[in-house]
């Protein structure tokens, strides 16, 4: 099989350096480091730029952690294999629930790393033929045992309500387990925060209108293409929304 192309994701440069050295010593299979990332945002940017066979992924990182990033990786059209590499063993069950190929604890031994890469090879060989990766991201929705991939281009807004996020398209609403902060970190270029509880798709903004809210009084709201619903804009975010519309 061809040399495996690997994305290293760890917020510690020294940890990435050690893994890069170990990967260089692997013989069966061989592997190369195609890119490195220090956090989830950098990792998603790297995944948009090129195709990887596997992601060696730390769990404890600032911002969105490795488990959250793994969920977003799983939602890609042609996701790479995920191998967690962490100093903590307590997340192993969650990792395998996310269909990780393997779970390595630090310090990683060469023999154990080669075993993980062999699992990556089997993962690649076993999965059905897939279409070429598209640049379109998807959001992975899990609902009552059913998993659905919703194209990010169809999402009009993310809204925090109690413990969950409402994901709204023109056709329907979905429930997502996560936080707005994580979504903003990963997709901030495509979505704009308009309130502490809402992110809207920049491409979907139709108008900024005067609006009266029974709880907050007179203020502003945005209208989105394809929706009758108005979304309140906080005073703090008003100037950013005006700039986005003007731009």
Q: Do 113 and 175 sit in the same domain of this protein?
A: no
32 & 85 share domain? yes
Residues of the chain with pLDDT under 70: 1, 91-93, 95-96, 127-136, 144-145, 215-216, 247
Do 206 and 113 share a structural domain? no
CATH number at residue 190: 2.40.50.1020
- 201, 218 Cβ separation under 8 angstroms: no
Residue 149 included in any domain: no
**Rounded Cα gap, residues 145 and 94, in angstroms:** 16
**Which residues does 74 contact at the CB level (< 8 Å), separation at least 6?**
82, 98, 99, 140
Q: Sign of torsion, CA 77 51 61 90?
A: positive
Tally of structural domains, the chain: 2
Residue 97, H or E segment: helix 92-97
Partners of 143 in beta bridges: 146
Partners of residue 218 on adjacent β-strands: 212
Question: β-strand 198-201 against 205-213: which pairing, if any?
Answer: unpaired
pTM of the model: 0.60
pLDDT at 130: 46
Residue 91: CB atoms within 10 Å: 18
Residues 19 and 120 in one domain: yes
The answer to whether the beta carbons of residues 55 and 80 sit under 8 Å apart is yes
Quick check: is 225 in a domain? yes
For the beta carbon of residue 23, count every other beta carbon within 10 angstroms.
Answer: 21
pLDDT tens, position by position, 61-83? 988 888 889 988 988 878 899 99
Q: Are 122 and 227 in the same domain?
A: no
- pLDDT of 134 reads 46
Domain that holds residue 222: 154-246
Mark whether 164 and 111 lie in a shared domain.
no
Does residue 191 share a domain with residue 118? no
59 shares its domain with 102 = yes
Q: Is 210 exposed, middle or buried (0-12, 13-18, 19+ CB in 10 A)?
A: exposed
pLDDT of residue 135: 41
Does residue 142 lie within any of the structural domains? no
């Amino acid at each position: 099989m061809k040399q495996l192309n690997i994305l290293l994701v760890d917020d510690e440069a020294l940890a990435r350096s050690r893994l890069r050295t170990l990967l260089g010593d692997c013989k069966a299979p061989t592997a190369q480091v195609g890119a490195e990332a220090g956090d989830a945002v950098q990792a998603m940017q790297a995944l948009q730029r090129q195709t990887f066979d596997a992601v060696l992924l730390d769990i404890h990182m600032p911002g969105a952690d490795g488990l959250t990033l793994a969920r977003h990786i799983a939602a890609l059209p042609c996701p790479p294999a995920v191998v967690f590499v962490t100093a903590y063993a307590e997340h192993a069950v969650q990792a395998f629930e996310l269909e990780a190929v393997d779970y390595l604890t630090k310090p990683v031994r060469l023999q154990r790393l080669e075993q993980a890469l062999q699992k990556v090879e089997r993962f690649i060989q076993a999965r059905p033929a897939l279409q070429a990766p598209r640049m379109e991201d998807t959001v992975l929705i899990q609902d009552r045992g059913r998993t659905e991939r919703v194209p990010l281009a169809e999402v009009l807004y993310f809204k925090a309500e109690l413990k969950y996020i409402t994901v709204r398209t023109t056709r329907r609403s979905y429930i997502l387990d996560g936080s707005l902060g994580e979504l903003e970190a990963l997709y901030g270029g495509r979505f704009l925060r308009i309130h502490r509880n809402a992110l809207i798709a920049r491409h979907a903004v139709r108008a900024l209108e005067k609006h009266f809210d029974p709880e907050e009084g007179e203020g502003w709201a945005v209208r989105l293409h394809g929706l009758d619903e108005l979304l309140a804009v906080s005073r703090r975010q008003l100037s950013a929304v005006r700039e986005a519309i003007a731009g």
